[in-house]
Amino acid sequence: MRLDGRRFSNNVEDRRGSSRRTKTIAGFGGIGGLIIAALIVWISGGNPISVLNQNSTFATSDEIRSDYKPTAQEEEYANFAKQILAGTEDVWTQEFKKMGLTYRPPKMVLFTDAVQSACGQATSAVGPFYCSGDETIYIDLSFFEQMEHQMKAGGDFAFAYVIAHEVGHHVQNLLGTLSDAHSQMARMSTTDANKMSVRTELQADFYAGIWAYHDNEMFGSLEPGDIEEGLNAASKIGDDYLQKQAQGYAVPETFNHGTSAQRVKWLKRGASSGNISYGDTFTPSYSNL
């Protein structure tokens, strides 16, 4: 991506190294199993912290990490995240204006190890997440290294897709889509609630594509291969792919984020059209998503 000279968002709070140390005591499979479970619920429209709340307990000490020193690579990631967030602010301000609305940007918190949000406490094992309670995106930047080396889903646009997807949930929150989906899910069976979650996640993927289209229109940010990086990342976080990686087989009725093919489809639709009206993932039959 071409980001030289781009501004940095002012809506970023850097808590790296300043949070209390938190130990996670896993209820099953140790921390390795917990990370796999967290990957399966990564980029959740609801409360991804639930994977930890259900399977672990927290023991928080009062020790402050005064010895924390970010690496040069981490500082690059931090600056990158600030620029991408700024880009989402510019794009969604414009898109909301087209709809006669005013965009209220989310905050972003950079943290290490563990963090407290309005949605609860989480460790970096849950991956990046959006909390509608405080309209904030939380991210431990080491996740980008995990994408690069463990998930084989690296690249600057792939990293940008992660942030843009979480901002997509914020867009849903501002438009009322997120609360409507959660309200319906609370009254549904587990299977139907999972399907509603898939619809919500796919729309957030679509919104990430919308951002990419308009960011490129505004700033000429995309380079050859960028979109392919994002599509590769989308394919690596499909429920079917992650479940097969974790347990050797997929259980479709438990999908709550969409298959690899679905995630690629909706990200690509947003990135190729730039038209927000094409992003209705709630009306089509489930089999046609």
Point out the residues of the chain with pLDDT beneath 50: 19-64
Domains held by the chain: number: 1
Structural domain containing residue 211: 12-288
User: Is position 273 within any domain?
Assistant: yes
- Residue 46 and residue 133: Cα distance in Å, rounded? 11
Quote the mean pLDDT of the chain. Answer: 86
User: Is position 32 within any domain?
Assistant: yes
User: Is position 226 within any domain?
Assistant: yes
User: Is position 6 within any domain?
Assistant: no
User: Is position 85 within any domain?
Assistant: yes
User: Is position 266 within any domain?
Assistant: yes
Q: What's the CA angle centered on 277, arms 41 and 8, to 5 degrees?
A: 65
Given the structure tokens 């069976």, which residue do they identify?
A: 189
User: Is position 90 within any domain?
Assistant: yes
User: Is position 205 within any domain?
Assistant: yes
Residues 24-64: tens digit of each pLDDT: 333 223 323 334 444 444 443 444 444 444 433 343 443 44
